[in-house]
Amino acid sequence: MGILNHILNIIFPAVCRQCGGSVSSDAPTAYFCKRCWDAIKWFDGPCCARCGVPYPLMSPVSPENPRSNPPLPPFSKGGETNIVPPFFTPGHLCGACRKNPPCFDRAVSAGPYEGTLAEAIKLFKYKKKIHVGRALADGMIASPTPRPNPPISPFSKGGLRGTACMGRLQSYYIIPVPLHLSRLREREFNQSAILALVIGERLGIPVLTDILLRERHTRPQVELDMKERKKNVVGAFSVQNEELIIDKDIILVDDVYTTGSTVNECAKSLKKNGAGMVYVVTIARMVG
């Protein structure tokens, strides 16, 4: 198969959707060159212990900028000491989570919704490029998840795969965010279910695709502002076969975390029907 792909690439060279360059046979997908794919930014820094929003990293104090920040020790990464973290301790919550704690216990996204990562998600979700979704799921598993806080969660510094190797994920169920039947017929697949199945297969975690249901058709969240998004999904989800999730910890999988309204409503329904901890995992997160 590798030789065949090499020959096809010579006859019909693939073009990277991000940079316009040629895509070699060793690239993860036929739509992005290896250089652009490897340049995807993954979150790896301090974040809210509940919703996972990344905290901004600030410039250190310097003679040229003496009032930029309080004199904190430099935050070193890769031997460089050009940034310092904000006042941060494990378990620290952002203002939004302190004011209105979400129903889920923690959310983690692999990277920001931008550049190659955003373009890949669009191809997967709207252009039906299923193999791109599988590559994204593998990237999510291997990506460095943000600093583990609180420590009791299915996420560790080694990423999801690193935690699974320690045997901590085997007591979880994975559940994808469902689509309404009408939307499923229109799209012909549920992108969250594909991600969930790949993650479950790679990590050996059972995937339940028939537990969480989307009872009513809702407007696409991308068309709404934050306030409308919350109202749009209220009461939209229900649970069947709830005996399967009583006192079970759940990993809820979706593609993009925007405001968190959809996954929060899903978590509310799961916990109402007896689920234990609910963790949210998404490929990307809207930031800024």
Residue 182: pLDDT band (50, 70, 90) is: confident
User: What mean pLDDT, rounded, does the chain reach?
Assistant: 79
Across the chain, how many H-helices and E-strands are there? 10, 8
Task: Provide the pLDDT for residue 58.
Answer: 52
Kindly list the domain boundaries of the chain, sorted by start residue: 2-38, 56-88, 95-285
Sign of CA dihedral 76, 285, 172, 234: positive
**106 with 50: CB under 8 angstroms?**
yes
Single out the residue of 287, 277, 241, 279 nearest to residue 263, CA to CA: 279
- Per-residue pLDDT tens over the stretch 220-273: 666 666 677 777 788 889 999 999 999 999 999 999 999 999 999 999 999 999
CB atoms under 10 Å from CB of 217, counted, come to 11
Q: In the chain, what percentage of residues exceed pLDDT 70?
A: 72
Best CATH choice for the domain 95-285 from the list 3.90.1010, 1.10.287, 2.60.120, 3.40.50? 3.40.50
Query: Is 225 exposed, middle or buried (CB count within 10 Å of its CB: 0-12, 13-18, 19+)?
Result: exposed
pLDDT at 23 over 60: yes
Tokens encoding 51: 């919703």
- Give the tens place of pLDDT for each residue, 132-160: 999 999 888 887 755 433 333 455 444 55
